[in-house]
Structure 1
């Protein structure tokens, strides 16, 4: 699933705007404001001298113009005023989005039933460590992804795209997928059948299960009679030698520093079965909340 940020390249746009408005704000504080103050002082001195001369000559002079002269000279140019007003707002948004939470929109059905098309979600940016914005380089180690987490990451084949899938395997795990059933480190995953799931996009029912990974559980869908995966679609991804594929089965040992990801809509998801592992350096954050779906407000809630 190719994730859609609320605005494409929003982090870069914010950074550029923050740098421009910040530079103007600092320039105004340390340079332009002093120039305006000097110009105001000069104008006031000239006004006071002229007023004093006229008064000495016996001419009555209005003295209420002094404040207006000062205000006129101290007034910021419109472009400086707007830049100064926007700078703190942009800086706060940039900080929140880069280091705390980032919004995304779900554009496809690969994570159904957990996430629906049109869900607006929040992603925790610090759960898996603090990373520098734009370049996504981790600078502070915190927690590691765990099996069952719904994680956003940079697509390994195109770092400009954000994907969202569920963590199935962590470094060192042996993952086997056969007949649409997972085995993790030699232990078969338990599946509990639910009522069939009606597809929202077309009148088709899918097999519906609770999948109980070690330490977590969530719902998944399977389609009939689709195979576990399409062997012909498997790519030649980095460290593919860690996987053994056959017609309806594969086994992968997750390399150190990598994660094995799958969509909950198992037969309608392009994921690690096809394009390989997700390196730690690609991680964006953990999806934790659906904060709005304009087509179905009842979708609001935590992500399991």
Structure 2
């Protein structure tokens, strides 16, 4: 009699379904297997890992960023393995109250609601993005995949030479340019070259080359704090664009940004100075690009 009752209420777990559910979220496969405590533990681990990454600033350097990807991948593989292997053992599984479809949907919706408000990027402190334009050549190339440190300016102020990610209040997408002017600086631009507080920044000609279809000259420019980086200027400037700016005084808590590709950047010459609260982070390194030499470039010294 007992065996008949057990056979009626027994519902073996389907390993394929456990596999699929484990793909969609931490603990989903375990909930399906009736292992609610294990599912909660896995979910907590999933939520705490970004906190660990943020506290250690692991994502702000290349090896650490790769480590985050590897840890995430291995953790997901383990979740899938655990869910599928345990489901195969549950041939005489007696469903728990939460193993009905409506409970399961409710649990999944609840978990996704938590994750929706859980801003992983802010907690880890990094953001990944891909470069679509040549505005920052030769330093940053089209197709470069970069990491920005979102907590770079929590305790320090932006400085000359920093390549920052920012978002104007009227813009839908973030931009990146280099800081060339600090609050209260007197700044003037003559033929794409900077004069800061009455002193012309040192520039050294390197070579002639091309940017897209344009002939350009490449220079090394040195900012007042000693930061050196490379810039492009068109070999033949546009006739209707003197590309100059009369001396301006940068307001308090504001910064002047320029693209390294000086004749091909919609920077502060066109969009105005950037307020400090519009700066979202500092570009720190690339992890991928269109060629192998774009992998693991540290832009803090570029």
More helix by percentage: 2
1:83 Cα offset (Å): 4.6
Partner Cα separation in structure 2 for residue 289 and residue 76 of structure 1: 48
Instruction: Tell me the residue number matched to 1:144.
Output: 157
Partner Cα separation in structure 2 for residue 229 and residue 123 of structure 1: 36
Q: How does 1:279-294 map to 2 (within 5 A)?
A: 279-293=275-289
Q: Secondary structure at the match of 1:273?
A: helix
| Length-normalised TM-score, structure 1 | 0.61
Partner Cα separation in structure 1 for residue 293 and residue 114 of structure 2: 34
Instruction: Tell me the residue number matched to 2:61.
Output: none
Q: Per the alignment, do residues 79 and 187 of structure 1 end up closer, same or farther by CA in structure 2, a change over 3 Å counting?
A: same
Instruction: Tell me the residue number matched to 2:99.
Output: 75
Q: Secondary structure at the match of 1:192?
A: strand
Partner Cα separation in structure 2 for residue 283 and residue 291 of structure 1: 22
**Cα pair 1:180 1:228 within 8 Å, conserved:** no
1:151 Cα offset (Å): 0.6
Equivalent residue in structure 1 for 2:291, among 275, 283, 296? 296
Partner Cα separation in structure 2 for residue 95 and residue 182 of structure 1: 39
Partner Cα separation in structure 2 for residue 97 and residue 171 of structure 1: 27
1:214 Cα offset (Å): 1.7
> 1:156-202, CA deviations, whole angstroms, 9 ceiling, x for partnerless residues?
5x232211110000101111111222111111101111122222x32
Instruction: Say whether residues 1:153 and 2:166 are aligned partners.
Output: yes
Partner Cα separation in structure 1 for residue 182 and residue 239 of structure 2: 21
Partner Cα separation in structure 2 for residue 302 and residue 258 of structure 1: 26
Q: Secondary structure at the match of 1:160?
A: coil
Instruction: Say whether residues 1:195 and 2:207 are aligned partners.
Output: yes
| Length-normalised TM-score, structure 2 | 0.62
**Cα pair 1:174 1:252 within 8 Å, conserved:** yes
- Structure 2 unaligned spans of 5+: 1-24, 37-91
How many residue pairs end up in the alignment? 214
Partner Cα separation in structure 1 for residue 111 and residue 271 of structure 2: 46
Instruction: Tell me the residue number matched to 2:237.
Output: 226
More strand by percentage: 1
Greater relative contact order: 1 or 2 (C-alpha under 8 angstroms, separation 6 or more)?
1
- Aligned-residue Cα RMSD (Å) equals 3.5
Q: Per the alignment, do residues 68 and 291 of structure 1 end up closer, same or farther by CA in structure 2, a change over 3 Å counting?
A: closer
1:287 Cα offset (Å): 0.6
- Structure 1 unaligned spans of 5+: 1-20, 34-66, 130-141, 232-246
**Cα pair 2:245 2:269 within 8 Å, conserved:** no
